[in-house]
A and B are shown apart, each in its own frame.
Chain A
Amino acid sequence: KAGVTQTPRYLIKTRGQQVTLSCSPISGHRSVSWYQQTPGQGLQFLFEYFSETQRNKGNFPGRFSGRQFSNSRSEMNVSTLELGDSALYLCASSPLQGASEQYFGPGTRLTVT
């Protein structure tokens, strides 16, 4: 089975812009979770989608949003980018809703200048 794929792999944006990241889960997986990884804060949970519905949300501002399509693919959007949004954004898929057995993609490296 193909693993989790994320596009693009690298992205450079300017403060104030918005960005959309894409994630394709492992075939058959219906849960997609998003994480932000930074050297200072480590891995932090953003939100989880299951069957096109957001099931769980972390402590991030409303500028961070997402959605999931009927084929389980997911997108994450960040509006009004700030310098502090520079990070590796990871997507993980799971066959089940919730936090168990997650399989991560390679991530999208976002740099905000």
Chain B
Amino acid sequence: GENVEQHPSTLSVQEGDSAVIKCTYSDSASNYFPWYKQELGKGPQLIIDIRSNVGEKKDQRIAVTLNKTAKHFSLHITETQPEDSAVYFCAATRDDKIIFGKGTRLHILP
């Protein structure tokens, strides 16, 4: 069946450095790719998304890139801050079907 692979499962970066999380999807019909941030005790929060007709999207320190041919998309966080520590989930969706990656636990080191 369709799936979404997310790597790495854990990532530690020094405060101020960049973090990159990558996802690969299998369903070529997927057309919407959201990223969620989940902090302890909270539900996932939509932080950025990209549609299949766009290759890159940026929102302040966060950017997402999409390579439809290779069926992978990535989340880039620049100038990381302590409040970026959380679990990040990617997802691939088409119409009414959404599949999530397993998540990446991001640690920002002081």
Contact = CB atoms under 8 A, between A and B. Distances in A.
Interface of A: 4, 42-45, 48, 55-56, 90, 92, 97-107
Interface of B: 32, 34, 36, 41-46, 49, 89, 91, 93-103
B36 A100 contact: no
A102 B96 CA distance: 12
20 contacts: A4-B43, A42-B102, A44-B100, A45-B98, A45-B99, A56-B96, A90-B44, A99-B93, A99-B94, A99-B96, A99-B97, A100-B32, A100-B34, A101-B46, A101-B49, A102-B46, A105-B43, A106-B42, A106-B43, A107-B43
A55 B96 contact: yes
Contacts of A97: 96
A98 B43 contact: no
Given A55-B96, A98-B96, A101-B34, 7 more contacts: A45-B99, A99-B98, A100-B93, A101-B49, A103-B46, A104-B36, A107-B42
Nearest to A104: B43
A56 B94 CA distance: 12
Nearest to B31: A100
Contact of B103 (A42, A90, A98): A42
Most buried by B among A45, A90, A100, A103: A100
